[in-house]
Amino acid sequence: MPITIKIAENGPYRISEEDAAQVVLVDAAGQVVPQLKPGKGISLCRCGASVIKPFCDGAHSRIGFNAAEAAQRAVDAPR
């Protein structure tokens, strides 16, 4: 069965607890990145502001992150 990654609106990429058990994260040097909380789901940063990258620390809320879809809508709206 495929692993499902849910995209939170203006938030992280989320992998469920069940799917997280099958995920292995590898950094650019080929080193395995240990999960922060084994046995839990995984939230991956997509705003770029997390201090615990590649994981989400909630920074998207503090910085007012707009995902590409929302940002594009905001740009297109005045037209």
Summarised one tens digit per residue, pLDDT across range 23-47 is 999 999 999 999 988 889 999 999 9
Asked whether residue 78 carries a pLDDT value surpassing 90, the answer given is no
| Sequence-ordered list of residues with C-beta below 8 angstroms from that of 67, at least 6 positions apart, any chain | 7, 9, 10, 11, 46
Looking at per-residue confidence, does 75 or 33 come out higher? 33
Mean pLDDT across the chain: 90
Q: What are the residue ranges spanned by the domains of the chain? A: 5-76
pLDDT given for residue 26 in this prediction: 96
> What one-character DSSP code corresponds to residue 1?
-
